[in-house]
Amino acid sequence: MSLLTLEKSVIYDSICMNLLNDKQIQFACVVNNKGRIVTGQFDKIPIGFDKDFEIFLMEIALEFSMKREFDNKFGKVEYIFSKRSGVNITCIPFNDDVLAIISQKHVEPQEIIKKCMFFLEPSVMNLVL
């Protein structure tokens, strides 16, 4: 488990803020391996998620933890995309954390992935953990 450094915090905040500039993205946060929000805007949590949001984020962390068991056999998970009737949920692992994005239901998965990678790659590549 890594500590949240000031540099890491600033980079994570910047990634989330840049993603939230897109009106199709309703929420973006970085979740640690325990399912706790490392960075993100709590006032932007979508309606209906209020009480269950913490459990939802813990499930994301657990899912990635379980999938890591097969990294040697199948390779690392690049992202998980969940299309639901109301929203799309995209989760991208990086470092020991997960970028979780909730977007409008009509947004195509590759559109979100491409946008996330645009912000993640230069930021995370320069980050010393």
Contact, 97 vs 33, CB < 8 A?
Answer: yes
pLDDT reported for residue 127:
52
Is it the case that residue 1 has pLDDT exceeding 70?
Answer: no
User: Would you kindly state where each structural domain of the chain is located, as residue ranges?
Assistant: 6-125
> Residues 94-120: pLDDT tens digits?
888 999 999 999 988 888 888 888 887
Q: Which helix (H) or strand (E) holds 25?
A: strand 25-31
User: pTM of the entire structure?
Assistant: 0.84
Could you tell me the pLDDT band of residue 6, with boundaries at 50, 70 and 90?
confident
pLDDT reported for residue 48:
63
> Residues 30-66: pLDDT tens digits?
999 998 888 876 556 666 666 688 889 999 999 999 9
> What does CATH list as the number for 6-125?
3.30.450.30
Contact, 109 vs 87, CB < 8 A?
Answer: no
Is it the case that residue 29 has pLDDT exceeding 50?
Answer: yes
